[in-house]
Structure 1
Amino acid sequence: MAIIQSTATSVTPTVAPAAHSGRDRNAPWHLPPIPTGNASRECLSSWGERAGELLRAQGGESGPLPTLTLTGSSLTTAEFRQILAGLLAAISGPSGDETFDLPVEIDIPAAEFTRAVVEEHRLHRAETLAKSLTDARSNQLTPAMFAERASEVAVANGLGFRLTTAPSLRAEGFGGITAIGQGSVKPPVLVELWFSGTLPPGDEPPADAIGLAGKGVTFDAGGLSLKPPSAMYSMHTDCAGAATVLATLSVLRDFGVTQPVYAALPLVENIPGPASIRPGDVVHTRSGVGVEIIDTDFEGRVVLADAIARLSEAAPRAVISVATLTYQIEVALGPEIAGLFARDHALGGRLLRAADQSAEALWEMPWATRYASQLRSTAPGATLRNHPLSDTGRAITAALFLGEFAPADVPFAHIDCSGPAVRATPDGPLATGYGVRTLVELLRQWD
């Protein structure tokens, strides 16, 4: 059993080893004190995950989990929820749908405990969906396969759904998605989903929705601007933004969200082929803006341009894009913090508060229009170019590029999650489901 001994300033837990573990039963495993006082929510979640790992080790592969006793810890319900998030991440199985007894004792009202467990399990299930999609290899999740999974999620969760296939994308002016996807024998698609709040989904996206655009590159070889092999191995994870958005919509009904939401997921493979877009080519996007393709490996912003334009046609209350977009944001913030670029201060504030409440690291970066000239193209028929022709500030110019496709009167923000969306491990990349909690919290609190 996990034993918590209370002191004046902290709670020091120990977990006795199982008899079958090969360790001396009289040599307990120690956890650090529970973070208290001004400890961040991230610290509490990390502590919970460590506690869950030890509980799982103590219980064995199929044995019952020991009881984690948190009585006397003076944890608030909000703090307990952060610990619970870490516990579930450590002790749940791969599907996130398992039911099991959660052996935790704590001094909070039973109703609050039950609500916390139910809601955290919902979030964990959504994160597990996002992780499973992102971790799937490119032959396990082509654009068409992703779209099929999205359709299943829509049916199961009361969402509207629309699929636009490659011929229609070309005919309807989605030149960005078409251009990036045309090198692959796996054709691109655009998935649209919507949640209509308290109303049935209907046949069209609702008015005054919050628009969410998620980058869905199911494999990114770089196109003709080919990546080196070392940079290509993990590129099945370049659909993390789309996975996060889909997972977010999957739990809105469960949480009783009333704010309508409209999502667009451009799903493509970016690989070289006889029909690949070439560096220097000009493509015409859904909004009518011509874009010069300087570098085919700067593809995410090109497909998102069409998605953002599509969302903007429905006169949304705001538009937010989520993407593993640039390496430079990881250089700036490290592998555990996402960058927020907000053209609208109020929208940026909402996202920062939601991220803080959700224990997801998000840092606001400058919306630096002083660099906007780097996006301008002199190619015939083009207004913008997809590469700034500069080695610095590329995360900023990527966000500015996306902002060009959201009308000036629509609040717009972009989350570049290239760092925290995927964790590097000795066994390869592992998705984290980053962003699901922040977006769900944002939409729950929207008024």
Structure 2
Amino acid sequence: MELILKNIGEELDESQVLFCPVLEGKEATLAMIKSLLYEDEKLIFAQAARENFLAKKGQSLVITDDTQTVILLGTGIKKKLSVEDWRQLAGQMIAHLRKIKAKKISLHASHWLKGNKDVSLLGQAIAEGLDLANYSFDKYKKADKNKINPNIEELIVYLEDKHKNDFSHGFEYGSYLAWGTTKARDLVNEPANHMTPSFLAEQAQEIAALNKNITVKILDKEQIAKLKMNAFLAVDKGSIEDPKFIHLKYKPNVKAKDKIALVGKGITFDSGGLSIKPGEAMEQMKIDMAGAATVIGLFSVIAQVAPKVEVHGIIAACENMPSGSAIKPGDIVTNMQGKSIEIANTDAEGRVTLADSLAYAQKQGIKQVVDLATLTGAVMVALGPDYAGLFANDAKLANDILTFADRAGEKMWQLPLPKEYKKLNQSKVADIRNIPSTRYGGAITAALFLEEFINKDTKWAHLDIAAPAYAERPVNIYTPLGGVGFGVRTLLEWLKNM
């Protein structure tokens, strides 16, 4: 897509479709129609009245003549458009372009800057909304000859000359955020017969090969064993697929302000092991590597986003499968820190692999760690299908992540880490047990399990993304069914602004 910026007042463009957001209400609708300078505006007023177009959210008014289609997009907002409103409106543009064949589209920035004059954020949000809404995963399906796939060749934006650089930079940045997200979506959507630990490792290697600022280290089973990551290896025992430990590292061109580790859970298929899941609960367990997908999606664009901090991406990738060699309930394993874990249930395996991933991250001298994991069904019970649960041992870290999640339109809710619940993870035969002694508060006790492997001087946040990692139905107009790529945009915004 080529972005073409033109001055206000230049001769009207030759785009096929012009998109115009409208604040809610009859007055705003009439004012917008008048501003378009139709000779027969009374006919347009009549059309708006006939279709009861009052610019409510989701409403649209399509005005067609021989030269151009103009689409008024209802915002449902009466005064001020937010970044998320802009994203949603860009998604509405794609929805219309699935019905109208158009390669050249346009918009007037003045129509969009209603109560919000941040031109850079406008460019960013439009880029995100267009790319994210236009995503589909259909590589394994035959092409539908009757389907209109939006293919925007030119986006023409009319705005003041002094705002062109801000809009252009914002648009470029938003494109990177969207591309990292769609990369993560692709990985989550891959079936498990393709998405193996080796496939995940190859993705990391391809990213590093394309970026001089990124290096990667892939450890095989023997190398993992030398580091005494026996908790990770225990989960892998039932699978014929070889485990891979992935360590990506991004170094900025300037002196790094800090070192950050992003740790992604990388179970490429989770059958539950010998504590096997029922069939209906196993069907979508290809998504149990969504945390790893977020890390790799983020790294696919991190060099372009160029944060001024050193970032490490760490993934313990394996399958959790039943077999004669699989780990058994009652087994005791030890992580690389020497802490013993009683395996009471083999279907609580992600936290066991993270015990080694988190330990490894801290061994690199990193004092700020964020992990992402499809860890518990309990967080879905607590927060529903759209929210991630955020846990953190540092208030500023938690607040920063929540701030940028809100800006990214990714829903998170902070949950507590009560010390009195730690006793629920106690084991009679090991340092800790991988499931608690109660069925209640499962997301909290899982987070407390992870905290046992965090050093006292490490700032740590845990994102339980079990709910929003995969959309069982479209979340909004730019987040379709399937892998969501949750967390990529939040974390890139956080890193960029450090």
Shorter-chain TM range is 0.7 to 0.9
Could you tell me which of 8, 12, 16 is aligned with 2:62? 16
Deviations 1:338-381 (A, max 9, x none): 111011111111111121222211111112222111111111xx
Equivalent in 224, 227, 231 of residue 169 of structure 1: 224
The 5 Å alignment of 1:10-409 reads: 12=55, 14=60, 16=62, 31-33=73-75, 35=77, 37=79, 41-59=83-101, 63-75=102-114, 76=117, 77=119, 78-79=121-122, 81-91=124-134, 100-105=153-158, 109-158=163-212, 159-198=214-253, 208-379=258-429, 382-409=430-457
- What is the CA distance between 1:72 and its match in structure 2? 3.0
Equivalents in 1 of 2:76, 2:207: separation in Å? 37
Deviation at residue 103 of structure 1 after TM alignment? 4.1
Structure 1: distance between partners of 2:122 and 2:79: 10
User: Residue type of the partner of 2:164?
Assistant: A
| Cα separation, partners in 2 of 1:215 and 1:240, compared to 1, 3 Å | same
Distance 1:267 1:5 in 2: 45
SS in 1 for 2:302: coil
TM-score of the superposition, structure 2-length normalised? 0.79
Native 8 Å contact 2:22 2:75 kept in 1: no
2:56 is the alignment partner of 1:4: no
Distance in 1 separating the partners of 2:425 and 2:333: 15
1:437 maps to which residue?
489
Shift of 1:249: 2.1
Q: State the Cα distance separating 1:423 from its structure 2 match.
A: 0.3
- 1:56/1:91 contact within 8 Å kept: no
1:133–1:141 CA contact under 8 A, matched in 2 = yes
Query: Distance between the aligned counterparts of 2:325 and 2:366, measured in 1?
Result: 35
Aligned partner of 2:41 in structure 1 is none
Conserved 8 A contact 1:40-1:359: no
Percent identical: 32
Give the letter aligned to residue 32 of structure 1: G
Instruction: Report the CA distance shift for 1:418/1:56 in structure 2 as closer, same or farther (over 3 A).
Output: same
Tell me whether 168-177 or 301-310 shows the greater mean CA deviation: 168-177
Question: 1:24 is matched with which residue?
Answer: none
Report the RMSD for the aligned CA atoms in angstroms: 2.9
Q: Once the 2 structures are TM-superposed, how far is the Cα of residue 306 of structure 1 from its aligned partner?
A: 0.4
**Whole-angstrom CA distance in 2 between matches of 1:104 and 1:55:** 17
1: CA distance, partners of 2:158 / 2:417: 46
Write the deviation string for residues 155-188 of structure 1: whole angstroms up to 9, x where unpaired: 2123121111112222321011101011000021
Instruction: Give me the whole-angstrom Cα distance separating, in 2, the residues matched to 1:289 and 1:404.
Output: 9
CA distance in structure 2 between the aligned counterparts of 1:117 and 1:173, rounded to whole angstroms: 46
Deviates more, 1:246-255 or 1:99-108: 99-108
TM-score, structure 1 as length reference: 0.88
Q: CA deviation at 1:252?
A: 2.0
User: Do the aligned partners of residues 16 and 408 (structure 1) sit closer, same or farther apart at CA in structure 2, a change above 3 Å counting?
Assistant: same
Instruction: Kindly indicate whether the alpha-carbon contact (under 8 Å) linking 1:55 and 1:65 is maintained by their aligned counterparts in 2.
Output: no
Closer/same/farther in 2, CA of residues 432 and 17 from structure 1, 3 Å limit = farther
Aligned pair in 2 of structure 1 residues 123, 6: CA closer, same or farther (>3 Å)?
closer
**Any stretches of 5+ residues in structure 2 without a counterpart?**
1-16, 33-54, 140-150, 475-479
Cα gap change, 1:115 to 1:321, in 2 (>3 Å): same
Task: Judge which range, 39-48 or 239-248, deviates more.
Answer: 39-48
